[in-house]
Chains A and B, each alone.
Chain A
Amino acid sequence: MRLLRNIFRRKLRAFLTIFGISIGVFALVVMGALAEKLTLLVDGGVKYYADKVVVSGDTQFAGLYSTPLKASLLRDIEHVSGVTRASASVSALLDEEIPAVSMGNIATIQAEDGRARGYETFVTKVAQGRELKNSDVGKVVLGSDVVKKLNGAVGGHVKIRGERYEVIGVMDKTLTAPDNAVLLTMQDARSIVHADLPDAVRDGVNPDTIVSSFAVYLEDGERPEVVARRLERQIDGIDAMTPLDFERQVKQPLAIFTSIIYAIALVSLLVGGLSVVNTMTMAVSERTREIGVRKAIGASNGQIMRQFIAESAVIGLIGGIAGLLFGLTIVTLGNAAGEASGNVLFLMTNRLTVGALLFAVGLGTVSGLYPAWHAANLNPVEALRYE
C-alpha cells in the first residue's frame, strides 16, 4: 500500500509511465504469440517430416503447388533400396486462389491412400464422428479450425469448390497444419486437382492416376539424406525432401523472423524502461528532502535503495499486468476473428505469459537501479537543505 501511494503521488506521470511499459509488454505479448504460433506450426512440420522423405514433382510454385505425379511411381519408389513403404497423397488448396496475405496456416484439402497406416508416426485422431474410409465418396472429415471456417458440423454438409460434401468427422486440435485440412477420399481429391490443372495440361492427364506427393518410409538405419539422393537419381522428375531440407527451408528463416519480431517488441519495451528511469529520477529529485528525513530518523542506504527499487519494480509489474491483459484481449479477439476464416494467428503459451511479466518486473527493477542508488547515496544534510 505504501509503495502504491508513493508511486501514485503524481498520478498522471505514474499513469503515463505504466502505460509506456504496458505498450511494450503488449507488443511483446502479441508479437510473441505470433512467433509462438509460427514456431508451433514449424515444429509440427518438423515432426511430420521427421521419419520420412517426401517425394513431389520437381517444379514447384511457392512450395504449395507442384506438378502432379503418376500413381504408378509408387512401385518404382518402393523398389529403391532403403525404402520400406510409400504412400500416395493428393492435396490442393481449399480455395482456388492463394490468399494474398496469410500469416497462419493455409486451408488445404488432403487425401491419402491409407498405405501409411502403421508407418506414420504423426497421427491425428478423430475427435467427433468417425474416420474416413476409401468408400466414403462425397464425405469429408474436417480439421478443428477449418470446421469453423466452413461452418460445418458432424452430420451436416459443407460446400467445397461448389460441391456439397457430408461431414462425418472432426479432427482433434493439433495447433498445427492438420487443423486447417479437409480430408476427403482419393477419388474426390483427384477430381478437384484435375479440375485445377491448366486447360492445356488437363486433357493429357488421367484423373485416376493423379498423386501430389508420396510419403516414403525408410528401412531401419537408413539415413533420409542418402535415400532422398538415391530416389532423385533413380527416378526422373521428382524432388525428394528430407527432414534436414525442411529445417533448412523453413526453420532457419523462421528463426530469423522470430528474432526480428522479438527485437521489435524489445525495443518498444526498452523505450518503456527508459521512461521508468526518467520517472524514478524525477521522483528521487522531488523527494530529496524526504530522503534526508528518512536518513536522519535512521534509514540506512540499503533501506532507501530497496524502497526505490521496489517502487520501480512495482511500476514494471503493474505495466506488465496491464500490457499482458491488453495483449491477451487482442490475441483472443484476433484468434476468434481468425477462426472464422480458418486463420488462427496467435498462440499464448505459459512461457510467454510468465516471460512477459518477469521481463516487465525485471525491466522496472533494472530501470530503478540508478535512481535508487542515487537516492541512497544522497548526503543527508544536503538532502535536508534541499528546497
Chain B
Amino acid sequence: MSSERADAVVETLYGGAADEAAGAAYIIQVRELVKRYQLGRDNFVDALRGATLDIRRGEMAAIMGPSGSGKSTLMHIAGCLDIADGGEVWLNGRRVDTLPARQLVNVRRREIGFIFQGFNLIPTLSAEANVALAAEYAGHSRGAALERARELLGLVGLSDRMRHAPSELSGGQQQRVAIARALVNDPGIVMGDEPTGDLDTATSAEVVEMMRTVNRERGTTFLIVTHNPEVAEACDRVIRMRDGVVIDDGDGTPPGA
C-alpha cells in the first residue's frame, strides 16, 4: 500500500479521529517520547526529547538523521526493546509502553520483526535453524518452525542455501536470512537498524529491493533507520530527526496532528 493510499484510507475511515480508532490505520504511534542515558553521575545524554511519530500500516518508512539524533533509540523503544522515560507507545492500537516485561516479550515475538546491521545470525546455527529459532521462541514446535523457516527462505530466494552456516553465506545472503527470520512469525512490522550498513552498493540495493517486494506483496510495514540516501529513496516516506525530536515526518504535516 502506498503512503497516499494509506492516507486516503485514514481520512475516509476516521477523518483523523482519536488514537484508538486510528490504530486500525496506524501500526505504530509514539507520543512525546523522552529517553535519557545516564553515563556517569553528572554525565548524561538526552537521546529523545519529546519525539512524536505515526507509522501507517503497510508503508515503508525510513528514519534519517545525524548520529546521536535518536533514530535508533526511537526504533528500539517503538520496537519494545527498550523503555522510555516518558511518553507513550501504541502498537496496533494498544498502548504497550506500560506493559510488564513478560508481555513485552510476547509483543516482540508476534508483532515485530527485527533486522540489524551486521546481520547478527547465530553462528552455530544453519540458515534454516536461525530462521526457525524465532518461531521456536514464539512457541512453535521445532518441526513446525523448520517448515515455516524453509518456506520463508524460499521467499527470500535461499532455497538452495538452507543448510549452510552463516559463515558460508555472503553478506547479502546473510541479510536475506535475517529478513526471513524477521518475517517468520508474520509480524505486522519489521524494523531495520541500518540493515544495509555493512553491505556494498549493489548488495545493498538487492536487499532493499527484497524488503520492498515483501512490503508490496505481503503488506508488511517496514521502518528502517538508515544513513544511506539510496535506501531512503526507495521508501514511501523519509522521516528526519535531530537532537532527539522528529523535525520532519515526511508528510508535510506536523507529527501527531
Chain A contacts to B: CB under 8 angstroms = 2, 5-6, 9, 289-290, 293-301, 303, 379-381, 384
Chain B nearest CB, measured from A291 CB (Å): 10
> Does A298 lie within 8 Å of B137, measured CB to CB?
yes
A6 touching B108, Cβ below 8 Å? no
Shortest CB–CB separation between residue B180 and chain A, in angstroms? Answer: 12
A2 near B124 with CB under 8 A, answer yes
A298 and B81: CB pair below 8 A?
no
- The chain A residue sitting closest to B113, CB to CB, is A297
Q: Is B122 in contact with chain A by the CB < 8 A criterion?
A: yes
A2-B129, A301-B105 given; name 13 further pairs at CB < 8 Å.
A6-B124, A9-B124, A289-B120, A293-B122, A295-B81, A295-B105, A296-B81, A297-B108, A297-B133, A297-B134, A298-B105, A298-B108, A300-B102
Q: Which residues of chain B are within 8 angstroms of A303 by Cβ–Cβ distance?
A: 137
Listed in ascending order, the chain B residues whose CB lies under 8 Å from chain A are 76, 79, 81-82, 101-102, 105, 108-110, 113-114, 116, 120, 122-125, 129, 133-134, 137-138, 181-182, 185
Q: A297-B134, A381-B82 are in contact. Are A290 and B105 (CB under 8 A)?
A: no
- Complex CA gap A332/B125 in Å reads 41
Residues of A within 8 A of B79 (CB): 296
Chain B residues near A297 (CB, 8 Å)?
108-109, 113-114, 133-134, 137, 181-182
Q: Residue of A at shortest CB range from B184?
A: A297
Can you list 24 contacts pairing A with B, beta carbon distance less than 8 Å?
A2-B124, A2-B129, A5-B124, A290-B122, A293-B120, A294-B122, A294-B133, A294-B137, A295-B108, A296-B108, A297-B108, A297-B109, A298-B109, A298-B110, A298-B137, A298-B138, A299-B105, A300-B102, A300-B137, A301-B105, A380-B81, A380-B82, A384-B81, A384-B120
Choose one: A2, A295, A299; the contact of B125 (CB below 8 Å): A2
A381 CB to nearest B CB, Å: 5
Total inter-chain residue pairs, C-beta < 8 Å: 59
> With a CB–CB cut-off of 8 A, which chain A residues contact B76?
381
Q: Give the shortest distance, in Å, between A382 (CB) and chain B (any CB).
A: 9
Smallest CB-CB separation from B114: which chain A residue? A296
In the complex formed, the residue of A with least CB distance to B193 is A384
Interfacial chain A residues near B102, Cβ < 8 Å: 300
B255 to chain A, nearest CB (A): 23
Q: Determine the chain B residues whose CB is within 8 A of the CB of A289 once the complex forms.
A: 120
Task: Specify which chain A residues have a CB less than 8 angstroms from the CB of B116 in the assembled complex.
Answer: 293, 296, 384
Q: Taking the nearest CB of chain A, how far is it from the CB of B189, in angstroms?
A: 13
CB distance from A292 to the nearest CB of B (A): 8
Measured in the bound complex, the distance between the Cα atoms of B127 and A190 in whole Å is 84
Contacts of A381 in B (CB 8 A): 76, 81-82
Q: How far is the CA of A380 from the CA of B137 in the complex (A)?
A: 15
Across the two chains, which residue of chain B brings its CB closest to A379?
Answer: B82
CB distance from A174 to the nearest CB of B (A): 53
Q: Report the minimum CB–CB distance from B163 to chain A (whole Å).
A: 13
Closest residue of chain A to B135, judged by CB?
A: A298
CB distance from A178 to the nearest CB of B (A): 58
CA distance A28 to B105 in the complex (A): 43
* Contact with A298, one of B82, B122, B185 (Cβ below 8 angstroms): B185
B93 CB to nearest chain A CB (Å)? 21
Q: With both chains docked as a complex, state the minimum distance between the C-beta of A75 and any C-beta of chain B, in angstroms.
A: 84
In the complex the two chains form, what is the Cα distance from A384 to B133 in whole Å? 17
Q: Closest chain A residue to B107 by CB distance?
A: A298
CB-nearest residue of chain B relative to A300? B105
List the 8 shortest-distance A-B pairs measured between CB atoms, nearest first: A298-B109, A298-B137, A297-B134, A5-B124, A293-B120, A296-B114, A381-B82, A300-B105
Distance of B134 from chain A, by nearest CB (Å): 4
Q: Indicate whether A298 sits within 8 Å of B124 (C-beta atoms), given known contacts A293-B116, A380-B81, A381-B76.
A: no
Q: For the complex, give the distance between the alpha carbons of A2 and B133 in Å.
A: 11
Contacts of A9 in B (CB 8 A): 123-124
Contacts of A295 in B (CB 8 A): 81, 105, 108
Residues on A with C-beta less than 8 A from B81 are 295-296, 380-381, 384
Measured CA separation A381–B80 after assembly (Å):
10
Q: Bound complex: CA of A97 vs CA of B55, how far in Å?
A: 96
Q: Once the chains bind, are B134 and A298 in contact (CB under 8 Å)?
A: yes
Q: Which residues of B contact A299 (CB under 8 A)?
A: 105, 137
